[in-house]
Amino acid sequence: MIKLLDFWAPWCIPCQAMASVIEELEKELKGKVEIEKINVDEDQAKASKYGVMSIPTFIFLKDGKEIGRKTGVVSKSDLIQLLKQ
């Protein structure tokens, strides 16, 4: 299964803009894609592990290996396209 890591913070305006997109993806892709939301203020170790320097950052994993990454505000269709690869 593909996993989407969503690195965000509550004070981040672009992250807030992406929240509804991520919620829609969670509903639409339930059972197909696992989405993990990671608050970088609360889990700095995981952000460091994945080399996240700015937020929002979306990292796509397949079998635990990174297969893609997007940073900043991204359209829902772009995220879906990356998930289909």
Both tokens of 48, joined, read 């460091």
Q: What is the pLDDT of residue 85?
A: 72
Amino acid identity of residue 44, one-letter, is Q
Return the residue matching tokens 């979306």. 58
pTM exceeds cut of 0.75:
yes
Reported as a single tens digit per residue, the pLDDT across 10-50 is: 999 999 999 999 999 999 999 999 999 999 999 999 999 99
Whether the predicted pLDDT of 51 surpasses 80: yes
Is the CB of residue 59 less than 8 Å from the CB of residue 68? yes
Strand ranges of the sheet holding 65-71, from the earlier edge strand across to the other edge: 33-39, 2-8, 57-62, 65-71
Q: What is the pLDDT of residue 84?
A: 80
Would you please indicate which residues are annotated as catalytic (active-site) residues? 12, 15
